[in-house]
Amino acid sequence: MKIFLQLLLFLLSTTMCSQQNIPSKQINENLDIGAFAESSEDKNILKGNVFSVKNYTSDSNQKKSKDDKIFEGKTLHLANYTTYRKDGRKSFRKEISGNGFSTSKYYYNEFSGNLVLKEDYYEREYGKSHYSKWFFYDKNEIISEEISLEKNNTKTVLSNYTKYKAKDSANQKKIIVSQIGSDSISNPDNIYIFENNNLTKINPLYQSKVQKLSLLNDIYKLDEIEDYVIEGRKVYFKYDKKGKVISEIWYNKNGLENKTEFTYNDDYTETIESNYHLLGTEISSKNQKKYDQYGNIIFDQTKYYDGSIGSIEEFEYQYDKEGNWIVKKRFYSEADHGIIGKKKLTSVEIRDIEYYTEDKQQPNNELPRVPEIINQIRTNIPKIAKKNDSYLKDKKRAIESESYLAEITLKESENIKDFTPEYWELKQIAYGNLDEDDTEEAAAVYEMPNIDREDAEQVLAIYKKENGKWKITHQTSAPLLSSQSGGMMGNPFHGISISKKCIVIKHFGGSRDKWEYTHRYRFQNSDWYLIGASASFGAPCDYWVKFDYNISTGDATYKKTVENCENGEKKIIQSQKSNKKISTPKMDSVTPGDSTFKFPNIKDEIYY
């Protein structure tokens, strides 16, 4: 009995110790750190000991360049260039697009192998920018801090600070991830729990709030998701012995919601993905993919439950002796009412691949000096965040109980910033002369209280200085779009200024297609009026429209320009002038982008 107990205690102690010896590399690689994944993403794709890859493509809107290649009569542009370390991780990468280029450098600790720094440089049509991510590790080589910086001109500022705190217990290792943004406001903690061969990820702000994974062939595979996109939805995954997913099934509180199944042939060169509809009970489509002996896709087509078929996408490759493709051709056969059309070549890619040789040295980027701001951040940011978190809790309570000020109530002060109500955010102040006397005026823009960057009203306040004190003369939200009206660009407010006795407000937004508004307001006839508006919209390397309207005189101009990034040409294809007198609208009745103007010979209305 005594021997049995000793053996049991030994087994238990061995199990407990094993939990504390989870490899740091395995932990670091499963904490969803973007730079770690990017540095290693090509390791399982490229075969052999690759030194560098240049990738050229015909599918590009780039201008002509000395780096172009002619292949089978087609002009191919250099899309990216990457160099690799001997362990397969990236050392340098450059990506080129129609509106500029970006470069990334990766710096490693040669003793531990850990990624220490990732630098990103962007040079595009709208300017240059420089970002850096610094990584720090504890004595066990588990990541402990991640500090992201942004450099504008000569000033370096915090972009994001993340603290990784490891907690050990007898049967698990827990990593608590605390993230603080550039505004020194904390996000809810993410938690990663490593236990036996299982990993649980708890991410309050993710679409998948709780993920449960288990080790399969030395890779953590996703088994279950809780609260996927909506609360109460669970998603389950199953795999075969090779680690290939064979099913993904969704359940909600009412039962089966959605189902996807995967089948493979014996050598995994063909897979069929079956998607179900009608709450996961009937197949809605079957997607068939075929792969060659190197694992590259060669065929892709979908067939639907009603018998119709989708278009066919096919690929052809040429390989080098290591089994990496050096030519990739994409073909497309369009399906029209069940009839497959002619197979057409749509794009060509080629790769110049260099391999390590005995005389080729591994790239070794010299680590820059750690910026002085890093130590300030590590010392001060957590303290500031703690103070801000307390403020935000009070703010949230005020918003929920509607106990904050809905307008500026202070009547006069020596400092304009004193007018800012509690929980409001002062965005910008412009100073200048808005009337005939010599006293100074000012205009300020505020964002009303909101939580978690939700859409919020924005307010314009106008001030006049009298006897050394500022007095508020007018406030309105009419001429400002709300804080989330800029689409992917976020807050569309793009600046306020005072020019020629007018208040000038600019807005900007969009994604690929962008838009800009400029509105000019003047005090006349005892009130504020819109006297001029400009609008621009379009897309880079495509077209751009400019519209200007002097509401006081009625004069309006229109100009449309097309841009060809291949040759750098810009051409005005349409322009027009018109005169249309309207009643000058009051500022308090203006909503940017809601007014329209119609030119006689232009099909579409212009919104301003």
Type of residue found at 315: F
Alpha-carbon span 443 to 459, nearest angstrom: 10
CA 213 to chain CA mean position, Å: 26
Q: What is the DSSP letter of 583?
A: P
End-to-end distance of the chain based on CA atoms, in angstroms? 88
**pLDDT for residue 19:** 45
List, in sequence order, the alpha helices (H) in 501-561.
Answer: none
Of 196, 143, 183, the C-alpha closest to 30 is 143
Q: Which residue has the tokens 């790769």?
A: 351
pLDDT in tens, 148-207: 999 877 789 999 999 999 999 888 999 999 999 888 888 899 999 999 899 999 999 889
**pLDDT for residue 280:** 78
3-state secondary structure of 595: coil
Strand (E) or helix (H) holding 350: strand 344-355
**pLDDT for residue 566:** 67
**pLDDT for residue 275:** 94
**pLDDT for residue 124:** 80
Q: Is 402 left (phi over 0), alpha (psi -120 to 50) or beta?
A: left
Q: Is the dihedral of CA 41, 42, 47, 52 positive or negative?
A: negative
Confirm if 203 and 213 have CB atoms less than 8 A apart: no
Which structure tokens are listed for 218? 């030395």
pLDDT in tens, 362-393: 888 889 999 999 999 998 998 888 888 888 88
Question: How far lies 214's CA from each of 21, 193, 200, in Å?
Answer: 17, 11, 9
> What order of strands is seen across the sheet that includes strand 458-466?
412-413, 469-476, 458-466, 441-447, 425-432
**pLDDT for residue 192:** 98
Low-confidence ranges of the chain (pLDDT < 70): 1-20, 452-453, 566
Type of residue found at 390: S
Confirm if 115 and 106 have CB atoms less than 8 A apart: yes
- Largest separation between any pair of C-alpha atoms in the chain: 104
Domain boundaries, given as residue ranges, for the chain? 407-607
Q: What is the 3-state secondary structure (H, E, C) of 444-511?
A: EEEECCCCCCCCCCEEEEEEEEECCEEEEEEEECCCCCCCCCCHHHCCCEEEEEEECCEEEEEEEEEC
**pLDDT for residue 266:** 95
